[in-house]
Structure formats: structure tokens, C-alpha cells
Amino acid sequence: MPVTKKQISDSVLYKLAGGVPPTAFPVNERDIWPAIDRTVNAMFKLKHFDTTLPSGETIPENTMIATYENVAVTSLNERSVSTLPVTPISLPKNVGIFLIYDPAYPDVPFIPLQRGQRGLLRTDTLLNDTLGLISYEPKNNQIVYSKDLTMFGVTAVTMELCVFDMAQYGVTDNLPIPSDYVDMLEDELVKEFAPVLPKSGFVSNFTNPTQIPPKQ
């Protein structure tokens, strides 16, 4: 059954308040919505390490791969670069950057290299140009290509990244997450916001009324 950010936040607030939350409840639904993004990405990463890798598989599940089209390519010192549209999930060997390719040739993705591997390939006369194919290296929030793609008429590429970008979805949009994630997601959010306590009417010299000065 599809679920929305609104439904998740309502359920979390109901569990936190032990019923319908009052107007002055210290946790607001707008506090929960940004936390959904962080929690889902953390759960995807944890499942990759706990389930995917131990089974002998390294390819991430399709549910954690988002496609970003028309990512601009700019020329730079006989090469070219692109800026990542979002920060992907950190996975071994930069698998978070799953695929990058020319949209005209989606079945011919560029070759991924680890940062610094291009320098090591210079010592191999056969592979130093990756057999004439286009490779790329990640550098901070940029992708550095081995060739100037603009010289081949490529001014934009398509990136498939392992990330759940909550900013793409509105409050009432159906979220593309597996149904078995919903209960776990709500439980994690309840744990995150449970320590938030309502303010009491006690007047104190301390910033937080729940802080008690140490005994002398």
C-alpha cells in the first residue's frame, strides 16, 4: 500500500503522544519530514551491508536507485566535469554512484574508477586509455571524465545514484519505498523524537528546565 510523508508523520506523532497529539505538543510534523529522508537512506545503507553484501551480491536493489537526467557537462582542461545533483549514499567502491552514461546510449555506461586510479593506469601502456572508452573519477561533489565529452557533442549526461531524495516528493505524494520499510521507519523516527520533552512552567536560570545543577 503506498504511503506518504503526511501519513508517516501522523502515525509517528500518534505514537509519541499516546493518542491524538495536542496543539502544544513539542514535536511538529515539519520536524519529522526532513528526518524521514535521513532515516530511509540510513536503512537502505544498512540493508545493503546486512543483506546484499553477505549474500554475495554487490549490486544495490532497484528501490534505492534514483535517476537524474540532464546533468550538465562542462569542459575543463581537455577533460570535462559534472556536478552531482545530490549526495549519494556512501557505499564501498563508490557504488553509490551506480551508473553514468550518455542519454543517447544508455546501454554503454562510462567506466567508473576510484579516485587516483587513472594515475596508476598510466604505467600500463595497454590500459592507460581504458581501451579508448570514457571513464570517470569522483572528486568531492564532482565527476571528472577522462575525455572532454563536449567535443563529442555530449553536453548533458544521465546519472543513476543510490539515494532517496525526499525533496522530489510532496507531503501527499506516494513514496517509492518498500511496504516492509514503513513500520521500521516509523519505529526509528519514534526513537529519534522520543527524548524530546515538553517544557514545564518551572522558571529556571538554566537554558533547559530539565537540567539540574550538580550538588555541592
| pLDDT tens, position by position, 45-71 | 888 888 888 888 888 877 778 889 999
Q: Poorest-confidence range of 17-26, 86-95, 125-134, 150-159?
A: 125-134
Do 9 and 43 sit in the same domain of this protein? yes
Q: Percentage of the chain with pLDDT > 70? A: 82
Do 35 and 112 sit in the same domain of this protein? no
Do the domain assignments include residue 212?
no
Residue 198's pLDDT band (boundaries 50, 70, 90)?
low
Residue 208's pLDDT band (boundaries 50, 70, 90)?
very low
Residue ranges in 48-194 assigned as alpha helix (H): 117-121, 181-193
> What residue type is assigned to position 192 of the chain?
E
- Supply the range of the domain harboring residue 152: 62-162
Burial classification of residue 105, based on how many CB atoms lie within 10 Å of its CB (0-12 exposed, 13-18 middle, 19 or more buried): exposed
Q: Poorest-confidence range of 87-96, 166-175, 201-210?
A: 201-210
Query: What string of DSSP letters covers 135-155?
Result: EEEEETTEEEESS-GGGGT--
Q: Which residue in 23, 45, 19, 2 sits closest to 188, CA to CA?
A: 45
Q: Where are the beta strands (DSSP E) in 34-171?
A: 65-72, 74-76, 79-83, 97-101, 111-112, 135-139, 142-145, 156-162
Q: Which residues of 6-18 are buried (b: 16+ CB within 10 A; e: fewer)?
A: ebbbebbbebbee
Do the domain assignments include residue 87?
yes
Do 66 and 158 sit in the same domain of this protein? yes
Do the domain assignments include residue 215?
no
Give the three cell numbers for residue 120.
Answer: 596508476
Do the domain assignments include residue 15?
yes
- Give the chain's domain count: 2
Which is more confident, 89 or 116? Answer: 89
Which pTM does this prediction carry? 0.70
What's the average model confidence in pLDDT over 192-209? 61
Do the domain assignments include residue 202?
no
Do 50 and 89 sit in the same domain of this protein? no
What is the structure's pLDDT at 81? 94
